[in-house]
A and B are shown apart, each in its own frame.
Chain A
Amino acid sequence: MGRLESFSPAVPGAPLIEVRDVVKHFGPVIALGGVSMKVHAGEVLCLLGDNGAGKSTLIGTLSGVHRPTRGELLVEGRPADFRSPRDALDAGIATVFQDLAMIPLMSVTRNFFMGREPVKGWGPLRRFDLATADRITHDEMQRIGIDVRDPQQAVGTLSGGERQCVAIARAVHFGAKVLILDEPTSALGVAQTSMVLKYIHQVRARGLGVIFITHNVRHAYAVGDRFTVLNRGRTLGTHAKHEIAMDELQNLMAGGKELQGVSAELGGTI
């Protein structure tokens, strides 16, 4: 049921995911007007863009929520056509949305395995294997250095950063090759942001490709290998870390002069 054209084998050395000239129209609105980017294994690609730049639409396209109007999507060198989020997941592309898809009243374990519960037993006695689920959850959390004191505790008792990490750990555990993180640090304080950034670093070290969406250049610069700037539905090019400085990136993202003016007014603090 995966929508990868299965007859063509994966191309060795190809990017995990590549987008070529993707265009997406919603009726008369051109949300994406030709976007290209690629992510390799063990790399963090930061997708920067201001509000309305088309970040959400691009994520939607990559995660199978929207189908592109035109353009190509390649997964490990093979053309892919995602008709639902399930297809993207099956191809190893996991998206951690801003709302995290976590339910505060449910336990960490129950959230971790939501929709993918391990079962034991047969026929009408098939049941949720809670002992295994608790053990796996505890171990996975331990691996990323978060002490989930008690996997039975409600997710609502975790901090924002911990929740974000649980959501990422869940995606990694279930075999993601590419992780799309939608503004994972936007609502977090300093300590929790560094917790999440540290974890992104760790995920990259495990050989996953990460697409890190943010409008905070500082956060992007802390973990990113390459930066793609999105403005008004188009990519303004991709730069490796050594090619571009943080303030250049900031200006590029803001689309030039306007912000510089404001920034000067505010004493260069933006």
Chain B
Amino acid sequence: MNAVTASPNPPRSADPSPRGDERLQRVSPLTALVRRPELGAIGGLVLVTLFFLLVADPAMFSLAGILNFMAPAAQLGILAIGAALLMIGGEYDLSLGSMVAFAGLVFAAALVSWQLPLPVALLMAFAVAALVGAVNAQITLRTGLPSFIVTLAFLFILRGLTLVGLKWASGGATQLRGVREAVEGHWLAPLLTGHAFGGLFAWLAERGWIERFDSGLPKVSGIPVEILWFAALTLLATWLLLRTRWGNWIFACGGDPKGARKSGVPVAQVKTALFIGTACCATLVAVLTVLDAGSTDARRGFQKEFEAIIAAVIGGCLLTGGYGSAIGAFFGSIIFGMVLIGLTYTGIDQDFYLVFLGGMLLLAVIFNNIVRKRVTGER
């Protein structure tokens, strides 16, 4: 067909494929966009932003206001990225929230009770996370039970162990203090707590480019480190998913584990790595928040497993696995942070947050279902 229709000077020389197909309707940019799993989350973010632009105090979208909602979004988002990858791989981890508390206990106890240096405490916390992740994975893989049930058991086991451990470490309380003092001045601490780019912000304030107090100091002293971790993790996860063999294996494991195994994908290794990765995300959140608060307590990470899964679903992950994106989870988490904090900038009762949570989940699942049918051409 090209021999007949091609002109000597094709107008679209940028077309990568010299062989066209007359049966193909040109994929419109809109259809191509609908195929992206993160579309729903971006649409949701636009809607939520518009809502708060109309309703909320304009201070919400000042630099300080944005960082204000980005910090909780980042804490949830780090969990959501881990949960999203695991969901794409076809499994759930309901022990995520309890893992935050348990890792917080291990980390704080190592620093405060055993007076260990920060790197050792970090190593211990992540080693415990890897162990819990591996145990979750092994039980799920060997018994063939749904990970939903296996990790539900660990939701309780880890929460209970945290309570017992805290009482033991603190002599009867459910809170362990003195973490900040233990890491004071350590060279690793600035990577894990406080604000980054302080110098840059001071310089910007000097120039008058960002808001400053009368003393000349900037109103925002820097970007909270958790936001940087969140962004870095999103980029890493996206690259992993879309540009590496492991990414292909993750999609394959979630899409059809039997088919994947027949094609030579090491399904058990991939799933184990995903469970460990998720537990490590929980541990990173534990470390960041424990250092930030200077203490750890038994309720840390409470119900975060559900919020993380909801953020992943809003981000386009299918409950059945095999489809989703890390960028989607990124935007899903920002929607969460925005609503949680944004409501305080409005006259709306803050407890509507929970109503919103449920509503958003429902909408996202319905929307994802439609998208899946589009993608697979189901009718």
**Interface residues, chain A, with chain B CB atoms under 8 Å away:** 85-86, 89, 97, 99-106, 110, 113-117, 119, 126-128, 130, 138, 142, 147, 149-150, 154, 156-157
Contact = CB atoms under 8 A, between A and B. Distances in A.
11 contacts: A103-B252, A103-B322, A110-B252, A114-B264, A114-B265, A116-B263, A119-B245, A149-B24, A154-B377, A156-B376, A157-B377
Nearest to B320: A105
Contacts of A105: 251, 255, 318, 322-323, 372, 375-376
Contacts of A100: 259
6 closest A-B pairs by beta carbon, nearest first, are A156-B376, A115-B264, A103-B255, A157-B377, A101-B259, A115-B263
A59 B161 CA distance: 51
B264 A116 contact: yes
Contacts of A104: 255, 376
B255 A128 contact: no
Contact of A86 (B23, B27, B260, B264): B264
B323 to A, nearest CB: 5
Contact of A142 (B19, B245, B259): B19
Nearest to B262: A101
Nearest to B24: A149
Contacts of B375: 105, 154, 156-157
A115 B372 CA distance: 24
A147 B264 contact: no
A74 B101 CA distance: 59
Contact of B256 (A103, A150, A157): A103
Interface in B245-260: 245, 247-249, 251-252, 255-256, 258-260
A7 B76 CA distance: 59
A1 to B, nearest CB: 13
B40 to A, nearest CB: 16
The winner among A101, A114, A116, A127 for most chain B CB atoms within 10 A is A114
Contacts of B259: 99-103, 114
Determine the main DSSP class of A at the interface with B.
loop
B376 A114 contact: no
Given A106-B255, A106-B322, A117-B245, A147 B24 contact: yes
Contacts of B255: 103-106
B248 A113 contact: yes
A85 B372 CA distance: 32
A138 B17 contact: yes
Kindly state the interface size class of chain B when it binds its partner: 20 to 34
B258 to A, nearest CB: 7
Contact of B378 (A110, A149, A156): A156
B21 A106 contact: no
Contact of A99 (B258, B323, B376): B258
Contact of B251 (A102, A110, A130, A138): A110
B303 interface: no
B156 to A, nearest CB: 33
B244 interface: yes
B186 interface: no
A83 B372 CA distance: 38
Given A101-B259, A114-B248, A149 B23 contact: yes
A138 B20 CA distance: 12
A138 B24 CA distance: 14
B248 A101 contact: no
A225 to B, nearest CB: 28
Interface in B227-253: 239, 243-245, 247-249, 251-252
Nearest to A89: B264
A128 B262 contact: no
A81 to B, nearest CB: 20
Nearest to B267: A115
Contacts of A113: 248
